[in-house]
Structure 1
Amino acid sequence: MLLRRWRRWRRSRPFWGGLFAVLAGAEICALPLAPLKVMLQQGVAGIPSVLMGLVMIVLGLTAWFAPAQRGLAGVLTTLIATAALVLSNLGGFLIGTLLGILGGGLVFAWQPDAARSPSPSPSGSPAPTSTPTPAPSPSPPHPDPQGAQP
């Protein structure tokens, strides 16, 4: 029962993209706190690393708990991961940047499951109809206020 609920929750959101974004944020955030021999930059320059890492963690959690905001979270995660390459110890020694780009792409590309369409008849051909279908009438203009047409 618990495993089924976990699976349903995980599949109803961009889970793997959010996980990669959280891991990338943790990697980028943890390096400024490392010993001096591991660090490439020290002092005030480490503050952007911590901030970018925290923002990436928040964006990964946003993808999990507010999947409707996945587009913004995915784009921002990718941008911050790319900026971390320059601003934060080569983006967590490239690991954080690569995880962030992968996670941002997965979050942005995730789509919720569409309603399943009815399955075709077992013979593979459509069911016969007794009445012919009328020709479709021209549809009215699309109500999109920005003018997009289907």
Structure 2
Amino acid sequence: MLLSRGAAGFRRWRRSRPFWGGLAAVLAGAEICALPLAPLKVMLTQGVAGIPSVLMGLVMIVLGLSAWFAPHYRGLAGVLTTLIATAALVLSNLGGFLIGTLLGILGGGLMFGWQPRTARTPTPNAAPVPTRSPAPGTAAPAHSDPQGAQP
């Protein structure tokens, strides 16, 4: 019972923010950040690419977490995640062997495209009011909009 209440609470929390985009961004950042820290047997060329890789990975992790905990910044976080993931392709060992770049672009797109759900308002079952067009040769009825916009 307690477990089901916790699962329902997590589900409610997850649906109120761009969870999957943030998760993809965190995983992409971890992938890009972890590869320069791997042993040299795994990494063929370390060089100066290690510092930007770690920094870009950390920034992507922070952007993914900000999408979770501050969902109103999801647009900025999504665009920046996509840009950093694309830059990591060139600056960071092919963006974590392409896995980090692809996850980052996917996560950035999911964060940018996410919209909060709107509350449904119950509508009464009323019949739609038919609109009548003015008879030929008569003027159209006056409209209440001062700028003359049509409904």
Please classify the TM superposition score into its range, dividing by the shorter chain length: 0.7 to 0.9
The corresponding residue for 1:105 is: 109
Structure 2, unaligned stretches of length 5 or more? 130-140
Amino acid at match of 1:7: R
**Post-superposition offset of 1:38:** 1.8
Q: Report the counterpart of residue 50 of structure 1 in structure 2.
A: 54
Q: Deviations over 1:93-142 (max 9, x none)?
A: 00000000000000000000012143563xxxx4377xxxx98621669x
Please name the residue that 2:84 is paired with: 80
Rg larger in structure: 2
Given the two structures, how large is their TM-score scaled by the length of structure 1? 0.81
1:147 aligns to what?
Answer: none
Could you list the structure 1 runs, at least 4 aligned residues long, displaced by more than 2 angstroms after superposition: 117-121, 126-129
Q: Give 1:27's aligned residue.
A: 31
> Distance in 1 between the 2:143 and 2:122 partners?
22
- Is this contact kept in 1: 2:25–2:108, CA < 8 A? yes
C-alpha displacement of 1:44: 2.8
Name the CA distance, whole Å, in 2 between partners of 1:102 and 1:139: 46
Q: How far 1:42 moved relative to its partner?
A: 1.2
Offset of 1:37 from its aligned partner? 2.2
Identity, % of aligned positions: 81
Indicate the larger mover: 7-16 or 42-51: 42-51
Match status 1:90 vs 2:90:
no
2:145 is aligned with 1:138:
yes
Counterpart code for 1:106:
L
Tell me the matched-pair count.
134
Give the structure 1 partner of residue 127 of structure 2. Answer: 127
Q: CA deviation at 1:4?
A: 1.1
Structure 1: 5+ residue stretches without partners: 142-150
What is the CA distance between 1:36 and its match in structure 2? 1.0
Distance 2:38 2:124 in 1: 59
Q: Determine the C-alpha separation between the residues in 1 that align with 2:143 and 2:7.
A: 47
Contact 1:18 1:59 in 2 (8 A): yes
- Letter of the 2:107 partner, please give it: G
